[in-house]
A and B are shown apart, each in its own frame.
Chain A
C-alpha cells in the first residue's frame, strides 16, 4: 500500500449577487441588441439582425437598437453600458458566442 499527497488545490468561492428587476412588458420599451463581437468584424451581428426582424414583426412598438461592443469579445465596454443606461435602455439582448 502506498500513501501519497493530494495534488488538488483548495479554492474559495466568491460572493454572489442577484439579478436586476424585470420589465412588466416589452411594448414601447427600448431594447438594445448587443453583439459581443465573438466571431470578428466580418461575421458579427447576423443573428441579432434576425432578432431585430422578429421584433419588428411581433412587437413593433419596441424600439430596437443594435450595437457592437467595442474591442474584441473578451474586453469590457463600459462606454456602451453607460450609453445604454443614459439612453434609458430598458433591456438588453446580448450575444452570441459560438
Chain B
C-alpha cells in the first residue's frame, strides 16, 4: 500500500505520471486499491519476493514478464507512463463515486447451527464458536453501560478501501455477546473500542498486542492479575481479550491480503494477552497512573510488538537487571520500546532490596547499563528498516551510532521513558517476561460504566474457579 499511496500523491497532487511496481503477492489488494480509491494506478508486478534477491535474480524479473498479465515488465512500465488515458482514467470523463453502506440490523432467522456456520463463513469470527447475538442477549449486554445503543464510540479509517467506519455502543455490545462477555465487561470493551486500535494491525509481520486493565474495575469484574494471569483460566481475561479480536475482525482487519497480511500470524491474537495489573501486590504506582489517570480511576492500556521472552529460572547469581540483559539483547529495541512484565516478587525485590523506588528508576538503570555492539544493533532487520532511515536523516543518537565501528558498544535503550513495567503474577516464583512491546494508548473505562460493582480481591487472583471442596468434578 505504501507504493500505491506514494503513487497517488504524485499523480493527484503533483500531476506527475507514475509507474508503480510491486510483487505479485500484493496484486489482490492493489486491485481493490484501484476499485476503492478510484485512481486506476497502472501497476506492474514482478515475481515475489524481491527482498533478499540477488542482482541476477532481479535482472531476470525486470527482463521477464509480469506474472499477472504475462506481458513484458518493461513494456508495462513504459506504457504506464506513456499510454494515453482511457475513458475511466481521464479527468474530463471521470465520475466520482460515493457510496454509503447499508447495514441490515437483523439477519434472517435460522437454526443455531446454520447461524454459527454463517457467522464463520462471512468472516465474522475467530474460528471458535460464538454466542449468537440475539436481541435479548444484546439488550442484556447493554445494561452494562448507561450510554445509548446508537451513540458513536469511535471511527476508524481503512486505508485499503478508503472507508470511514463508525461503530456504536450497540455494535460493541453485539461483539461482546459473541465473545462470551458479560454486561459488567462492556465498559472495558467500550474503552478498548474507543481507541479505534485493531488487535492485529495490517502487517506482514507477526504483530501481537496486549490489553492491560488497571483500577478498581479489575477486581469488580474478577480479572486475574495473580497466579497464571496470562493463562487461559479466568473468564474476564479470556472473553475481553477475545472480544478485542472479534471487534477487529468486524472492523475489517481480517480480510485476507487486504488488511490481514501477517505471513505466519501470532497465537497471542486469540486473546491479546488480556490481563490486569496486580496493583495490590505491586510496590510501585499502577501503570495507568503513569499515564495520567488517578489510581482510583479505571483504564485500559494497549501495547503492540512482536516478541516476548520468558525468564524461567530466576535463580542466577547475577542481579535481576543483569539477567534481563540476556533477554533484551535479541530484541530490536526499536526507539527504546520495551515492556517488562514482573511478578510481584521481582518488583518488590527491585524496590526493597535493590533500591529502585519507581518503575522509571529501574528503566533508567537498564537504559544506562545495557549495552551491545553497534554492528549487532544495526544488523537487526527491523532496526535497519525503521531506524536506518532516521539515522540517515541525521537524528541523534542514531546518526552517530550508524557511523561507529561494528564492535563499539552502544546503549540502545536511550529513552527509558519508552520502557514500560507492568506487575503481574501469583508469586509462586520470581518470574518475568521481557518484550519489545510499546505502549500505544490508554483510555478511560469509567466513562462507559453503569455502576460500581462489589470489591475485594486481595492477591489479584480474581475470578478463578477452583476445585470444589467436596472433591466433586
Contacts and interface: CB of A to CB of B under 8 A. Distances in A.
A8 B106 CA distance: 10
B453 interface: no
Nearest to B113: A2
Given A16-B37, A16-B39, A91-B19, A8 B250 contact: yes
B385 to A, nearest CB: 3
Contacts of B49: 98
Given A14-B164, A70-B389, A89-B16, A5 B106 contact: yes
Interface in B146-175: 158, 161-167, 170-171, 174-175
B385 A22 contact: no
A81 B14 contact: yes
Interface string A51-69: 1011000100000000001
Interface of chain B: mostly helix, strand, loop or mixed: mixed
Interface string A1-45: 111111111111111111111111110000100101111111100
A76 B3 CA distance: 10
B26 interface: yes
Contacts of A54: 62-63, 74
Contact of B161 (A11, A22, A40, A42): A11
B13 interface: yes
B46 A6 contact: no
B450 interface: no
Contact of B381 (A31, A40, A58): A40
A43 B39 contact: no
A5 B385 CA distance: 44
| Residue in B16, B19, B381 with the greatest tally of chain A CB atoms within 10 Å | B16
A12 B164 contact: yes
Given A3-B135, A38-B51, A19 B21 contact: no
B59 interface: yes
B3 A90 contact: no
Given A43-B51, A51-B62, A72-B386, A11 B101 contact: yes
B94 A16 contact: yes
A95 B22 contact: yes
B7 interface: yes
B294 to A, nearest CB: 33
Interface of chain A: mostly helix, strand, loop or mixed: loop
Given A71-B389, A97-B23, A5 B36 contact: no
A74 B159 CA distance: 12
Given A41-B389, A69-B6, A93-B21, A19 B40 contact: yes
Contact of B384 (A11, A12, A42): A42
Given A72-B386, A98-B49, A2 B91 contact: no
Interface stretch (B80-88, B280-288, B408-416, B433-441): B80-88
Contact of B103 (A8, A69, A84): A8
Nearest to A19: B89
A13 B388 CA distance: 36
Contacts of B70: none
Given A1-B110, A4-B134, A16-B38, 10 more contacts: A2-B134, A3-B106, A3-B109, A12-B165, A18-B90, A40-B384, A93-B77, A98-B22, A98-B25, A98-B26
Nearest first, the 9 A-B pairs at minimum CB distance are: A16-B38, A98-B23, A95-B21, A40-B385, A41-B388, A14-B162, A10-B103, A11-B163, A10-B101
Interface of B: 1-3, 5-7, 9-26, 36-42, 46, 48-53, 55, 58-59, 61-63, 74, 77-78, 81-85, 89-91, 94, 96-107, 109-112, 115, 119, 122, 124, 132-135, 138, 158, 161-167, 170-171, 174-175, 178, 246, 250-252, 381, 384-386, 388-390, 392-393
Interface of A: 1-26, 31, 34, 36-43, 46-47, 49-51, 53-54, 58, 69-74, 76-77, 81, 84-85, 89-98
24 contacts: A2-B115, A3-B109, A9-B165, A12-B101, A14-B36, A16-B37, A16-B97, A18-B85, A41-B392, A47-B61, A50-B58, A51-B74, A53-B59, A73-B385, A76-B5, A91-B17, A92-B7, A93-B19, A94-B19, A95-B20, A96-B22, A96-B50, A98-B46, A98-B50
